[in-house]
């Protein structure tokens, strides 16, 4: 039985270098980084007056395939609850850690009553994991 999964890997690239590499890889497959200008959470928190620890470098990278998302959401806007896909990066022990959460087909089906969406979203999750590996 397929389960929800936290995909965890690392790279010797900095968080910024990884995001740039991921952007280039994503573009090859019709994806985009939706939040390029505000994925650095230290900057984002700072804009709202919140202080973070010295060296805080969490990046929340939102990845999207606009053409597929537009078609999917036009077909069923209830799918939107599971559409934002974030890849998290942060530094630990001198390496950039990468995390991506994907959901099982059964859990997707439990959240959105839709015959086509679960299998399609599981395929998208797999593609994002492969893009992460290519960008590392």
Return the pLDDT at 3.
Answer: 86
Count of structural domains, the chain:
1
110: domain CATH number is: 3.30.310.70
8 neighbors 133 (Cβ within 8 angstroms): no
Angle at 20 between CA 24 and CA 30, to 5 degrees: 30
Return the pLDDT at 38.
Answer: 82
The rounded distance, in Å, linking the Cα atoms of 72 and 22 is 23
The rounded distance, in Å, linking the Cα atoms of 34 and 20 is 13
Please tell me the pTM assigned to this model.
0.92
Domain containing 19 equals 5-135
- Tens-digit pLDDT string for the chain (136 aa): 578 899 999 999 999 899 999 999 999 999 999 888 888 899 899 899 999 998 889 999 999 999 999 999 999 999 999 999 999 999 999 999 999 999 999 999 999 999 999 999 999 999 999 999 999 9
CA-to-CA dists, residue 80 to 27, 53, 69, 70, 134, angstroms? 22, 33, 9, 10, 27
């Amino acid at each position: 039985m397929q389960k929800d999964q936290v995909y965890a890997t690392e790279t010797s690239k900095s968080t910024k270098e990884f995001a740039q590499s991921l952007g280039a890889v994503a573009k090859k497959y019709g994806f985009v980084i939706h939040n390029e200008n505000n994925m650095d959470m230290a900057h984002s928190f700072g804009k709202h007056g919140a202080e973070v620890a010295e060296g805080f470098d969490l990046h929340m990278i939102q990845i999207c395939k606009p053409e597929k998302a537009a078609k999917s959401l036009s077909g069923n806007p209830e799918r939107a609850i599971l559409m934002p896909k974030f890849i998290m990066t942060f530094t630990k022990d001198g390496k950039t850690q990468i995390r991506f959460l994907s959901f099982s087909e059964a859990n997707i089906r439990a959240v959105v009553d839709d015959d086509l969406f679960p299998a399609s979203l599981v395929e998208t999750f797999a593609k994002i994991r492969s893009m992460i590996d290519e960008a590392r």
